[in-house]
Amino acid sequence: MKKLLLVLILILAGCATSAPMGMVYTEVKLPVNVTSNGQAYARTGVAECKSILGLVAFGDCSIESAKKQGGVSRVYHVDWEARNILGILGEYRLVVYGE
């Protein structure tokens, strides 16, 4: 019984995250920040990161990186997207909208 409880604790550890994460598959899009009311955005910038086996992660998902990629000087809205399959392969994107 103690072993089963320990396994459950290890499986469920870290379940309280700020984003919904599926144990087998995750594909979510979430808002990060909004500073304008439905305004049309002239430019969009994207920054990407990846993780492999939950052991190695690489990329730059910063707002500054997304701004630079899209030529955005003033940010009005930021979205975050995540896709993860069994914790083996994870892809993360930060999208900024602005002018």
Could you tell me if 17 and 26 are in contact, meaning their C-beta atoms sit under 8 angstroms apart? no
Lowest average pLDDT, out of 28-32, 47-51, 69-73, 79-83, goes to 28-32
> How far is it, in rounded angstroms, from Cα 21 to Cα 60?
21
Which pLDDT band holds residue 37 (cuts at 50, 70, 90)? low
**Assessment of whether the complete model's pTM goes beyond 0.85:** no
Res 71: pLDDT: 94
Res 96: pLDDT: 93
Is residue 33's pLDDT more than 80?
A: no
What number of helices (H) and strands (E) belong to the chain?
2, 5
Tokens at 26, concatenated: 């995750």
Q: Mean pLDDT across the stretch 53-80?
A: 91
More confident residue, 61 or 40: 61
